[in-house]
Amino acid sequence: MDEPTVLNDDQLSRLRRIWTTEIGRCGRNSQHRILNTVPPLQKHFTSVEGSMVHLAIEQSLKGVDENLPLDDYPQYKPRLMEELPSLMEKARIWKETTKIDLSEAESEVKFEMPIGLGYTLVRSIDILTPEWIIDIKKGKKVQTESRYDVLISKKMVESAGEGPRKMMIVLLGNDTPVEYEMYGKGKRTSEEVDMNFIELGIQNVLLEREMIRTGKQVPCKIDFLCGFCEYRHLCNGV
C-alpha cells in the first residue's frame, strides 16, 4: 500500500468490501461499480429471477407471506410470472421432503471476514442450519463457481467461531429438486484442491483492488458472463 489512494471516501468504502461472488469474476465489472461514474444497464433477467427465488425462499422459511416485488422490473414481470411458479413449487417440494432439519434454519445470513490490507470478504449464505450450509441454485447442474461459493461460506462461518458444517447445493432446474452434497464419496474434486483455487482467487482480487485504489485500469476477463454484465456497454474486451 505504498502508492497513494486516488478514490474518494464513498469509493473506498465500496472498494474495501469484496463480495465472494466477485472472486474469479471480471475485475473490470467491479471497477465500474466501485467508481460509480457511469450508470449500469438494467439487470439481466437471469439475475433478477435468481434474486426473486431467493427472496421467496427466505420468506417461506420465515413464515412470511408477502408479494414479490415484481413491479420493480416491469420489463421482466410477464416472464417472471410465467417461470417463477415452477421454481417455487420445486423449492416447496424440497423444503417438505428433505431429510435436513430446517427447524432452526436461517436464511440470507451475512458473514464478513478480513483478508488483509484492509479488505473484507462479504457473503450472504442462502440457508444456514446448525449442521448445514445450503446454497440454492435454479440451474440443472453444479457449476465450479457454485462449489467455490459454498466452500468460501464454510471458511467464513468457521472464521466467525462457529462449528463445522456440511455443505450442500440444491438444484431447482430439473424435473424434481436435486440435493448435491459437496465432497462426499465419489466426488471428482476435494475440499483441499478447491480451497487452493479460492486462495489464489482471493489474492488476485486483492491485486485488482489495489490497482483500482491507485488509479490503474484492471484487465477485463472475457467469458460467457460478459452477456450478463451491467457494464458491457463500456467494455470492448481490452
Q: What is the pLDDT of residues 114-131, one digit of tens each?
A: 999 999 999 999 999 999
pLDDT at position 238 over 70: no
Instruction: Please count the residues of the chain.
Output: 238
Distance of CA 215 to the CA centre of its chain: 27
What phi and psi values does residue 93 have, to the nearest 5 degrees? -60, -45
Given the candidates 2.40.40, 1.10.8, 3.90.320, 1.10.287, the CATH classification of the domain at 9-234 is 3.90.320
C-alpha cell at 1: 500500500
Q: What is the pLDDT of residue 14?
A: 97
pLDDT at position 227 over 90: no
Q: What is the pLDDT of residue 189?
A: 79
pLDDT at position 2 over 80: no
Sign of CA dihedral 81, 86, 91, 97: positive
Single-letter amino acid code for the residue at 59: Q
Query: What are the domain boundaries of the chain?
Result: 9-234
C-alpha cell at 184: 462426499
Q: What is the pLDDT of residue 237?
A: 64
Average pLDDT of the residues of the chain: 91
Q: What is the pLDDT of residues 38-97, one digit of tens each?
A: 999 999 998 999 888 888 888 877 777 668 899 999 999 999 999 888 988 999 899 999
| Burial class of 169 by CB neighbour count within 10 A (0 to 12, 13 to 18, 19+) | buried
Q: What is the pLDDT of residues 155-199, one digit of tens each?
A: 999 999 998 999 999 999 999 999 999 987 767 778 999 999 999
pLDDT at position 5 over 90: yes
